[in-house]
Structure 1
């Protein structure tokens, strides 16, 4: 299995779709499905009928998973989308932003 280029807690930029250009933080990664949950991006509304647990009912807004191919890591320097490569620094494998050369996880 390939190394994870996007991890929980990373800042990402949406590349395509209705939320194109928005940024957010990764809440959950689902590598088997090739999807991620990003806070505030791809938010779906769910209309709920009143029930005993929720007597008021109403509209719930929950983030839906978004495909990995539609997001890119935000460059730590300027926040623009960048690709990720791996380098060996100090005997440790670290992620590096291709655009700026900045280390992502130190």
Structure 2
């Protein structure tokens, strides 16, 4: 199994599926299932009964997880692959297209 190179807070571009070419910020990454929750991407509708937390109930729209393989890191508006480079004793992420350090 390869390493997940996408982290929480990254801006990603969807490269496959119904939301192709859309961009969003990663809310959460699930390492076990290889999925990511991206803001505004892969929206689903969920029907909920009235409860103490949600008095009205009804139809709620929320994001569903999207597979990591269907998103790509967005660097300066362009989708790019991510590599790793050792900077002394620190491991840093690098954008493959430009060679710039990401974080």
TM-score of the two chains, using structure 2 as the length reference: 0.89
Separation in structure 2 between the aligned mates of residue 22 and residue 83 of structure 1, nearest angstrom: 17
Give deviations 1:62-101, integer Å, cap 9, x for gaps. Answer: 11000011000011xx221110110011321100000111
Q: RMSD of the alignment, in Å?
A: 1.5
Matched, 1:31 2:31: yes
**Between Structure 1 and Structure 2, how many residues are aligned?**
102
TM-score of the two chains, using structure 1 as the length reference: 0.87
Helix, strand or coil: the match of 2:94? strand
Query: Could you list the runs of 5+ residues in structure 2 that have no partner in the other structure?
Result: none
- Report matched runs for 1:69-88 at 5 Å: 69-75=69-75, 78-88=76-86
The structural deviation recorded for 1:2 is 4.4
The structural deviation recorded for 1:27 is 0.9
TM-aligned CA distance change 1:104 to 1:48, over 3 Å: same
Query: Could you list the runs of 5+ residues in structure 1 that have no partner in the other structure?
Result: none
